[in-house]
Structure 1
């Protein structure tokens, strides 16, 4: 639960980026249109096409994060069982078997985490590269339309595309953190709404024996 609450806290720190990033994008786009005319829309169209693709990838990340969280729960549960029963494990020399089981879960968890980090790195790199290509496309369109690319237009447009890059770079991070927070909220909600467990077993005073085993099989290892 502590990991889930940390993810929610991390997402809350980026909450205002959700509404401020679109405003920054609109203002920068308006100045670009004023600067190089409708040619700026060509570069913005490229950015608009990449956006939905990033959203699809983020939905995939949410499902992978949910699977990784389940594996993490299994690993933590097994670790707690090992620590609680360490005397028995040492007495019967079960260290290797429990170590193998724990390593399998850990390797599976690392595989999920590695996949998530690779996808996030790819999204971040795409967010940094796409504005550059958008700028190039806009300049090419502006030149083909008969525009005059002087120093003032080029450098001011580069600055505006750089302004576009900042919210576009933050926005995928925000979406990823929101996806993690969404999974964390569902897990916490499932935990809080789970049925209460009875601390003590029910005892029937009418029974002859307190504990009775029927057709039981016991093996000494």
Structure 2
């Protein structure tokens, strides 16, 4: 159920409600699926470092240092990606508000011949959304690529110093590769994703709290919420707006 203040329903727009339900609330499912990696990943790193110490001794810290630097770099990229996503969400909400107001006042728009002006405003907002989406996608792909190239460098940086000092056999090399694969997964994939989904969930909670702070409140299930939307929009307008943002907000 969605519990909102009766005063809030008069102040917020339909676009903000659709954005909240279609985009932000999905973050809770992702956050619950990855939440345990926040403590599992450090535990894995501790255990694997102990096992690698038995094989490579001090040279193990060379690979670990590379992973730490890479994790810090990924954190910076993640912060940049979240900034782009927040900016895009703001533009999406702005566009939905303008679109909803234009639909509700379509007679005035037609009477004063504002079609082209409104079209340009919405088109400019949409172009800004696409630019921010493209930037966030580039940062995300570059951030994900760290998972694929990090394994080679971790193995080389861990094995090479030990091989120069004491020599190394194939058995230790293959065992080290197996441990480094698990270590790479924990540091460059599981832990960053878990932290990112936690921040996304906190952001969704903050957005819900903005709407959910008044004392007088009413409870709406999904059927009642659909009826509320249909009372604000016509059936065709509601379907078009809902399907359009279900595609671009996912």
Q: TM-score range by the shorter chain?
A: 0.7 to 0.9
1:153 to 172, 183, 192: 172
The alignment status of 1:59 with 2:79, answered yes or no, reads yes
Q: CA deviation at 1:153?
A: 1.1
Q: Give the distance between the partners of 1:178 and 1:117, measured in 2 at CA.
A: 20
Q: CA deviation at 1:73?
A: 0.9
Q: CA deviation at 1:135?
A: 0.9
The DSSP-based 3-state class of the residue aligned with 1:193 is coil
- CA, structure 1 residues 194+67, in 2 after alignment: closer, same or farther (shift >3 Å)? farther
Q: Give the distance between the partners of 1:59 and 1:41, measured in 2 at CA.
A: 27
The alignment status of 1:85 with 2:105, answered yes or no, reads yes
- What corresponds to 1:18 in structure 2? 38
Q: Give the distance between the partners of 1:65 and 1:56, measured in 2 at CA.
A: 14
- What corresponds to 2:125 in structure 1? 105
The 8 Å contact of residues 123 and 172 in structure 1, kept in 2 or not, is answered as no
Q: Report which of the two has the higher share of helix.
A: 2
Higher radius of gyration, 1 or 2: 1
Instruction: Using structure 2 for the length normalisation, give the TM-score.
Output: 0.70
Q: Give the distance between the partners of 1:21 and 1:91, measured in 2 at CA.
A: 61
The DSSP-based 3-state class of the residue aligned with 2:167 is coil
- What corresponds to 2:182 in structure 1? 163
Q: Give the distance between the partners of 1:66 and 1:84, measured in 2 at CA.
A: 27
The alignment status of 1:94 with 2:114, answered yes or no, reads yes
